[in-house]
A and B are shown apart, each in its own frame.
Chain A
Amino acid sequence: MWFQIILIASLVGIAIYLIRSTPSPRHLAIRRLLVLVALVAGVVVVVAPGLLTQLASLVGIGRGSDLLFYVFIVAALLYVVNEYKRSVQLARANTQLAREITLTEARLVDRIDALEAELAAANRPRG
């Protein structure tokens, strides 16, 4: 029962993160903390496997491996969402870069055309 609430809350949280948030140093810090916590928790659970089952029964799940499985799914979803958002950001940066290249080239060509026209106009009366 307890864990159902936690699980649903995490999924809703991921959905909100997907839709709402924009990248910020705060998010980066939170992501790094999460990775750190996961690593430490991993080591602890490897050293003392019994802890996982105890924790599982505390939140209303029978076996520790089930808890691990649920947490893994949430973590994987978070990863996918994060990568998706990152790829959107990269695509936007790429577009801006490409646009700048295009506009810079256009400005140069326009300038060269204008100068050539001036030159042609300047040379014409002599002939």
Chain B
Amino acid sequence: MAPMVAEPSPVLPGALDATTWVVIPLYNEQSVIGAVVTELRQHFEHIVCVDDGSTDGSAETAEAAGARVLRHPHNLGQGAALQTGIAYARSQPTAEFLVTFDADGQHRVVDALAMLHQARDENLGVVFGSRFLDDRTKPGVLKKIVLKTAVAVTNLTTGLTLTDAHNGLRVLRRDAAEAVNLKQDRMAHATEIVVQLGRSGLPWREHPVEVLYTDYSKAKGQSLLNSINILVDLIIN
């Protein structure tokens, strides 16, 4: 099933990155996951998709594209899937870095590569992607209000001063990944992970990333009402 020898990447010089594990929570994204995994596989040897009970054949598509697919027995939520993926990746003896990546194709692989580069160069524990550090990303007004509110809440609860919240693109060094133990199964995990990484005391930076708002990701995007759910999940113990 897996290639016998790791062939050098056809597009870029140099071998595949074998010490970084890309973790993708996956739930009903069959139309896009194949392309996402295929593109990542040109740079990374290890792609882990945690299939969170998809009903549309997402898992098979991801597997065919070359990802290692772990399957939840039923749908538990994105936070739960992310934690499962992190737990699997950090149990691999050769894993030095983890990249968390969204399944819906809104992140760019070049951003992930640049973030990894920064983490290695500056010896950082964590690199958070932020769509507000440059002007490549163009969210709508409402989206911007939701996100900026989430940023304010996150900063208030975590003590970190981030410019973006709920951005799924992150780079975690092994020791940072070991500090993560997400209990929020649903969307509130995106704040919880910042809290836990902040508490770890490891050095962190933000890195500008572009978020591609396709019609597809817009249709699935978070609503204003859902941010109320996130808030309640975070407040109630």
Contacts and interface: CB of A to CB of B under 8 A. Distances in A.
Interface stretch (B20-28, B72-80, B171-179, B204-212): B72-80
Given A20-B237, A91-B185, A98-B74, 7 more contacts: A19-B235, A22-B237, A99-B84, A99-B87, A105-B71, A106-B70, A113-B2
Contacts of B84: 99, 102-103
Contacts, number: 49
For the residues of A in contact with B, the DSSP-based class is: helix
Query: Interface size for chain A: under 10, 10 to 19, 20 to 34, or 35 or more residues?
Result: 20 to 34
A86 to B, nearest CB: 12
A95 B80 contact: yes
Given A91-B185, A92-B183, A106-B70, A99 B80 contact: yes
Contacts of B88: 103, 106
A18 interface: yes
Interface residues of B, number: 22
A101 B236 contact: no
A43 interface: no
Contacts of A99: 72, 80, 83-84, 87
A88 B80 contact: no
Contacts of A105: 70-71
Contacts of A91: 185
A99 B71 CA distance: 9
